[in-house]
């Protein structure tokens, strides 16, 4: 189904029959990607006396409890409630769910201290000709299938420098998506500089902006402009599992 979109003085066309899923699944596989020292996802049938919520074990229906952590297990979208004293929820952060997004690919660079980071200069170069996007999707290199099974805890993954986030704010980015477990350094003494800068908390709090982490963008998906559709579970929480979907614009 081909549709037309008009955004900030520019006409786009989109084929809604060609969705591109950039989420990682929530799975009980112990080898699934994880971070922040969390346990694997658990999905277990409810047991009530002689009754069990598992058809293969004699139950009439499958009726399961699910235990997971949205920040450490799979793709998730979070709001400023992640770092605020106030109880902001991601379920209330969206007034719409479709955005013009730019997919870029970045190779993190190494600092003298050994950390690998995404810099302001890299984002400026990648987004130099981009004027209309509301969201930025960052794919980092290398980008093998091992990202779907990497255990990130205690590995000091790459992160985004604060001044790079400042640049994204300056060009009006409302939604930031990345294929890493966090935009911040794994162990930073609780500073969370990139999170605070993006949401401008607490002095100019941006309650409608979101960060989505732990995405996965296959190599065959080209950099460029897409329509981004956020699909989230309506948790009343700072973060929720999510399934961002891209549609190529032409």
pLDDT digits (tens, 9 = 90+) for 63-94: 999 999 999 999 999 999 999 999 999 999 99
Residues 21-60 as b/e (b if ≥16 CB within 10 A, e otherwise) read: bbbbbbbeeeebbbbeeeeebeeebeeeeeebbbeeeeee
In the numeric block, the tokens 């600092």 are attached to 111
pLDDT on residue 24: 97
Closest CA to 13 of 1, 22, 23: 1
Confidence of residue 154 (pLDDT cuts 50, 70, 90): very high
Strand-pair partners of 21: 245
From the CB of residue 154, how many other CB atoms can be counted at a distance below 10 Å? Answer: 9
Q: What is the mean pLDDT of residues 171-183?
A: 98
User: Of the CATH numbers 3.40.720.10, 3.50.30.50, 2.40.40.20, 3.10.20.30, which one belongs to the domain with range 2-23+77-248?
Assistant: 3.50.30.50
Is pTM, for the whole model, over 0.95? yes
Q: Please determine, for residue 23, whether its predicted confidence score (pLDDT) is greater than 90.
A: yes
CA–CA separation, 118 vs 90, rounded Å?
25
């Amino acid at each position: 189904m081909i549709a037309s979109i008009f955004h900030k003085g520019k006409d786009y066309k989109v084929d809604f029959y060609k969705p591109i899923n950039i989420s990682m699944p929530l799975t009980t596989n112990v080898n699934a990607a994880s971070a922040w020292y969390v346990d694997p996802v658990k999905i277990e049938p409810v047991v009530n006396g002689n009754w069990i919520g598992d058809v293969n074990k004699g139950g009439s229906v499958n009726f399961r409890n699910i235990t997971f952590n949205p920040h450490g297990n799979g793709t998730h979208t979070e709001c400023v409630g992640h770092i605020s004293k106030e109880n902001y929820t991601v379920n209330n952060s969206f007034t719409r769910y479709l955005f013009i997004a730019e997919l870029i690919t970045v190779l993190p660079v190494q600092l003298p201290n050994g950390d690998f980071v995404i810099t302001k200069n890299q984002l400026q170069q990648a987004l130099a000709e981009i004027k209309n996007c509301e969201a930025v999707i960052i794919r980092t290199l290398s980008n093998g299938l091992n990202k779907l099974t990497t255990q990130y805890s205690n590995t000091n993954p790459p992160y985004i420098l604060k001044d790079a986030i400042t640049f994204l704010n300056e060009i009006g980015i409302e939604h930031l998506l990345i294929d890493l477990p966090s935009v911040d350094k794994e162990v930073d003494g609780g500073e969370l500089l990139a999170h605070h800068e993006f949401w401008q908390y607490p002095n100019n709090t941006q309650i409608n902006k979101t960060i989505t982490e732990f995405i996965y963008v296959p190599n065959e998906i080209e950099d460029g402009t897409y329509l981004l559709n956020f699909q989230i579970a309506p948790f009343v929480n700072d973060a929720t599992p999510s399934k961002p979907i891209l549609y190529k614009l032409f």
